Structure 1
């Protein structure tokens, strides 16, 4: 085998000169004895000024900010440094060669990584931009999902959306009234997103989730050392955090009377007093409140301040429960099925029989309960299609009333719904002895049930007819 030394002989310099990398060699004294043309270009220096000089002298004179040769002689091992020369970014590596335990030569390689560094920088910029677009896309998807929850075929809900569109750009206080799970927080967020404050904070506080003392400190904040266990730095309250934006007071009916006085000042004058402070703070906020309780009745019973009630109830928005807007249930099923398939990586479908069964349920937990049930069904159903048996397993309180109803779905949507409603009422009404009992069990009011029965020309026994009071 031919040795490298025999192969190149005196041509080793030509080999080094052909390299795109800068190559420098220092001897055992740290003196520069060789420098190729590429190194001259990279360092922007004439090699005649470098050759024969000691690396330590070049360092002292400021020719080099750092010297890899000096570092190698100190550490007795391979060293790598980064240098900037004339707008170029260089990676310089020095490797020692030993003879009899002492450094004989130091071989130095200089590589221009300017373009590579720029590519890495550009990649970071692109990745950062992609992350920004990803967050924006997720926000758009979230807004679209919320908008889908607000889209409705129900006349009452359509009236509500028309009202929301008119009041959102204003500064008026809004009181959202509805049972738990109907989506009061979704409506509050929609108002904020379509208001002039949409770029500012939307802060929510659940008035029923905290004790009176915690609620006060969370809402109004506190000064340092104002009570046992208080932070040494104090705390900014949510009212202050919402400055310039919207403060959403969920379940306002649960707020203790003592705090209602402080809240009245905030609603009325936009001022509040942090716990332990003697100095009032002023904020610019819009207040949206929500409740599932009858505040008028609470006012009569002295459980809720009348003046606060009227301050909050400037524009009331009453959300009907899901059982009174069953025409939206099919869209909700499709929406939640798509959402949770995407979330959990499934492609589940749902049978018509299962849909009919879900329609027959009264949904006391409203839209929130429906969303939870669909997510549960997507996860626990072993088959690709969710069937009625899966629905019954997932819902212990589910009744199979009406689930076996079969009718032709080949006309208008409203006709199909009417047909299903008629068959549903006809099938289950024989289980009850009074209008009141039936209404309570299927989750609608007596007056609504009477109207539905008259619409489909359905009659109970003589006793039920008597209860109807001859209003057929």
Structure 2
């Protein structure tokens, strides 16, 4: 039996049913065909694309990169990557020639998001913890450098001091509320020090269980405790040998470990759990806290000698509300970062920028970063407007109205401050956090927070 002959309408049906996106451009570079899969992957209607020049679509930002344009420029097959709506696309453009001239360009678009994810997961499974940390630090180093913004007078003064301190070996204590970027500045100090090419190890003293903290910090010998590895384990302090050890939230370090930490800070020696032989390390120590360590010393919650050893050079990072000149820079920075991360080209209206710069940002840079990512991802239109920002920061309008009411009533400065403070604490407590977590969030000691809550008749979660 003679096989059936394929006609043009058959080929078109095959293209329409393809799971891969298919786009065809003519000899001019004008898009003449686009299948349903391409519409789905690119999140556009073909009516917006057909009949238009690939070069124009690239210039207008509809395509971040046009593989069709690349084919016309090189005259050969081209492959590139693009991101659309958070999906990773592999684009392959193939020229079809008539003589020496390109007659058609056939573009195949494939969603490789899941493939890339599987490959990444497999890679992570193979890597050891140390290698993973080093790679992660290397990938994020350039982004963190962008977070070192210092337009305000207080931050300019801090940066001048840090530029002088970074090349030295002196210990540094970074103080500031949660979310101000203490870890970013610790990393900046390391990256601008003589140890920049060596290891940088961060230890979050508040994130590791007290029962595990000593063995995680100082390591342990074989048979040190039930469940210990036969060969023992190297601690994070030893991992930092030759480089920088960053002790984040040092105020959370239990008293029973502060003695061993003092020895490490003073003499650069430590004793692994279950060992009788001390080890020596060559490290530079940077510590950070959102607590008032001096007040903790007076209450007997922090060793005085350790405090003075860490507090050789104190750096106080002001909260975002005290560095208004930096807010605009952060807004622009995060807009660029999250546009690139999610494959968008969103921009802010002047009204939206005004609100973002006027807001007090109680959660500091971390809160601003989260809000900017939310605005980029959630806002449906290309322009992020005033209403979008007000929806993302619901308490902004309430605070603005309260300010106006205070002025209209002619309240004294003290009365206005108390009225605002009461509203502020009511809002904070609505988050339902424990006393400790609330104190950490807003940068107050637990005793001060208790006193404030009692004053306004408020109670934390048990």
Give the TM-score normalised by structure 1: 0.57
Which residue in 2 is equivalent to 1:391? 389
Alignment of 1:59-74 (within 5 A): none
Partner of 1:327: 325
Is contact 2:167-2:193 (8 Å) kept? yes
Q: Residues 357, 438 of structure 1: CA spacing in aligned structure 2 closer, same or farther, 3 A cutoff?
A: farther
Matched positions, count: 289
Query: What is the match of residue 277 of structure 2?
Result: 279
Match of 1:166 in 2: 164
2:421 equivalent among 433, 440, 449:
440
Mark the CA change 1:158 to 1:288 in structure 2 (over 3 Å): closer, same or farther: same
Partner residue of 1:214?
A: 212
Distance 1:140 1:353 in 2: 37
Give yes or no for contact 1:360–1:401 (8 Å, CA) kept in 2: no
- Paired residues of 1:432 and 1:438 also in contact (CA < 8 A): no
Secondary structure of the equivalent of 1:363?
Answer: coil
The change in CA–CA distance for 1:148 and 1:425 in structure 2 (over 3 A counts) is farther
Match of 1:429 among 398, 401, 407: 407
Q: CA deviation at 1:244?
A: 0.6
CA–CA distance in 2 between the matches of 1:231 and 1:399? 56
After superposition, give the CA deviation of every residue in 1:387-424 in whole Å (9 maximum; x if it has no partner).
12212222343335559xxxxxxxxxxxxxxxxxxxx9
User: What RMSD over aligned residues (CA atoms) do the two structures have, in Å?
Assistant: 2.7
**Runs of 5+ unmatched residues, structure 1:** 1-137, 404-423, 444-472
Quick one: distance in 1 between partners of 2:422 and 2:190? Answer: 37
* Structure with more relative contact order (C-alpha pairs < 8 Å, separation 6 or more): 2
The alignment partner of 2:158 has SS state of: helix
Q: Is the 8 A contact 1:361 1:399 kept in 2?
A: no
Deviation (angstroms), 1:246 = 0.3
Aligned equivalents of 2:276 and 2:253: distance in 1? 23
2:180 is aligned with 1:182: yes
The Cα of 1:223 is off from its aligned counterpart by 1.2
CA gap of 1:442–1:318, structure 2 versus 1, over 3 A, is farther
- Please give the per-residue CA displacement for 1:251-270, whole angstroms capped at 9, x wherever unaligned: 00010000000100100110
SS in 2 for 1:236: coil
- Whole-Å Cα distance in 2 between the matches of residues 343 and 325 of structure 1? 27
1:230 deviates by 1.7
Task: Write the deviation string for residues 158-207 of structure 1: whole angstroms up to 9, x where unpaired.
Answer: 01000001111111000000001100001000111111111110000100
**1:289 is paired with a residue of what secondary structure?**
strand
- Which of 265, 268, 273 aligns to 2:266? It is 268
SS at match of 1:180: coil
1:243 CA displacement: 0.3
> 2:355 & 2:306 partners in 1: Cα distance?
43
Report the Cα distance in structure 1 between the residues aligned to 2:302 and 2:204, rounded to whole angstroms. Answer: 17
The alpha-carbon distance between structure 1 residues 225 and 139, as it changes in their structure 2 partners (threshold 3 A), is: closer
2:406/2:416 contact within 8 Å kept: no
Between the aligned partners of 2:241 and 2:334, the Cα distance in structure 1 is: 34
Question: Which of 203, 206, 219 is the aligned partner of 1:205?
Answer: 203
Cα distance in 2 for partners of 1:183, 1:297 equals 22
For residues 367-392 of structure 1, give each alpha carbon's deviation from its aligned partner in whole angstroms, at most 9, with x where no partner exists. 01100110011111111111122122
Rate the CA distance shift 1:340–1:157 in 2: closer, same or farther, 3 A. Answer: same
How far is the alpha carbon of 1:150 from its aligned partner? 1.9
Give the aligned partner of residue 419 of structure 1: none
Equivalent positions of 1:340-379 (< 5 A) are 340-379=338-377
Q: 1:432–1:262: structure 2 CA closer, same or farther, 3 Å change rule?
A: farther
Cα pair 2:149 2:330 within 8 Å, conserved: no
Please say if residues 204 and 248 of structure 1, whose CA atoms lie closer than 8 Å, have aligned partners that are also in contact.
Answer: yes
